[in-house]
Amino acid sequence: MRDRRDPTALDIAALCREGEALEGRLALTPLERLTGSLFGAVAPGAEAAWSAQASQEPVAGGEPERWLHLQARAEVRLQCQRCLEALQQPLEVDRRYRFVRDDKLAEQLDEEIEDDVLALPPRLDLLELIEDELILALPIVPRHEGECPRPLPQPAAVAEVAAPNPFAKLAELRRPAPAADSDDGAK
């Protein structure tokens, strides 16, 4: 029998009833979806620190609300989109999830409240959820704060070579020929 505190197969209902807290460290190397977005190889020993606090809040005349507060922190290497060099990017996750009995209710409540609403699964893979949230925390356009350490050369600094205009020869052909001096009949 699996431990209900196993982060790859959490019994969310039981965790929330007990108000349990979990924490741990997650190696980044096996997170293929996340590492596919990073610049270069993941540093050996790179990991994310995470914590999760489950709670259950009573509701008058209804079933209790089940909540999970997830926090995670990691530092990853991305490629700056200005200078194309590597940059260290801290990622931070601080999310609350409300678990409800089914997908229909989750969809309805998701439009009404700011927190994420999920259907209560039989078992939740918390590590997969952490990877999802770290991916969502990646910046859309990563770049160094302020100035880049080694900016790319500016286009104006590159010597321009004047290319011949392909229409110049055509323009010459369209000009009327200069009038030739006529010597033949004046003598």
Mean pLDDT of 124-150: 92
Poorest-confidence range of 122-126, 143-147, 158-162?
A: 158-162
Q: Is the pLDDT of residue 2 over 80?
A: no
Q: Is the pLDDT of residue 44 over 90?
A: no
List % helix, strand, coil for the chain (3-state, nearest 5).
25, 30, 50
Read off the pTM: 0.74
